[in-house]
Amino acid sequence: MKLLRLPQKMQKRLSRTGSLKYRIINIKTAAIKPKASVLIIYSGGTIGMVRDSSGSLVALKFNQIMQQLPSLNTLNVSITVISFPIPMDSSNMNYQNWIDIGYIIYENYHHYDGFVVLQGTDTMAYSASALSYILEGLNKPVVFTGAQLPISAIRSDARPNLITAIEIASKKRGNRPVVPEVSIYFDYQLLRGNRTRKIRSSQFGAFESENHPMLAKIGINIEFNHSAIKKYEKNRQLAFHEKYEPNVVIMKLFPSITLSVIKSITNIEDLKGIVLETYGSGNAPTDDWFISQLKNAIDRGIIIFNVSQCSGGKVIHGRYATSKKLQEIGVISGWNITTEAAITKLMFVLGQETETEKIKERLSTPICGEMDVGL
């Protein structure tokens, strides 16, 4: 392995967010004429941890991780790694990290056939959703993966997850990538990144995608579901968006929620948007005080985006009287979007647009396959 300095242009961009010390590691595999090239972006997470003498999990450097994967030498793929200077727990991920990862992909887009992002599972669905918006016009694979057990563990899922993610990121049909979108690979399933939620913390099958079919199922062979995968667009150019609005909040409804709770949320200083997690198909209390508080917020310019608390199904304003009032006061339906995709989309759209009607239009319209609109 050889450590290289970051290109000057990338140093300048990443230094804005304190990420100047990212490292590039070239990995020489056994391939003489590799069939593809893959860039791995390593941010941290359980995949790269080991237990110290006290029994606590601590992060490894990426070159130590690679020592656990001698089988990588058998892949006919050229691999390069960009590593965060200090591996981070995904609980500390924020929109600046998403922008940094997006920029690294954008800056290296024409030099690699695919990209693999390694991070912790807790916020992986948020990161994958955010990257799908940041990288408009993406026509190459960006595969997120990680692990439930550290790579040093005997029964770790890290090895098959990482190796298969690299395979998928390098897979082509002719000269075209098989999966030209942001995805999550975990436990023998490939899922659309902005349709995925983490639903388990104690099993290898951590993720599910209730409202969109699996992109691929992995067994002895990789069986791609081509009808569910975003189509390759030959002349599409990649655009990088770095403006995000972090002044948003998720408000989850529950029986007996009080006026003081609603007030405390809707009156947050500088608040720009709310993802409202409602019941069932978008239902909420019809009490006058509740509707009045939401309407007052909307009248002050706060955007409210309605998503269902259910894993499957969709928001349908007007199906029941308990959602019709939300529609009447200007709450926007998120249809079958996940909370993770909704909050990152809200941050993204608010960062790009200033006119209320344009914001509502973009939230109501699919950007990159994150939701289905209509009954």
Catalytic annotation, residues: 46
Q: How far apart are CA 279 and CA 252, in angstroms?
A: 9
Q: How far apart are CA 372 and CA 130, in angstroms?
A: 18
Number of residues assigned to the chain: 375
Pairing of strands 77-83, 36-42: parallel
Q: How far apart are CA 54 and CA 218, in angstroms?
A: 37
Contact status, residue 41 vs residue 115, Cβ threshold 8 Å: yes
- The single-letter code of the amino acid at 278 is T
Contact status, residue 126 vs residue 93, Cβ threshold 8 Å: yes
Contact status, residue 312 vs residue 281, Cβ threshold 8 Å: no
Name residues whose C-beta falls within 8 Å of residue 208's C-beta, 6 or more positions apart in sequence: 191, 196, 197, 199, 311
- The single-letter code of the amino acid at 211 is N
Q: How far apart are CA 333 and CA 218, in angstroms?
A: 35
Tokens for 35?
């069939």
- The single-letter code of the amino acid at 173 is R
Name residues whose C-beta falls within 8 Å of residue 260's C-beta, 6 or more positions apart in sequence: none
Q: How far apart are CA 246 and CA 33, in angstroms?
A: 45
- Percentages (nearest 5) of helix, strand, coil residues in the chain: 35, 25, 45
Closest by CA to 130, choosing from 278, 344, 308, 322, is 344
Contact status, residue 193 vs residue 208, Cβ threshold 8 Å: no
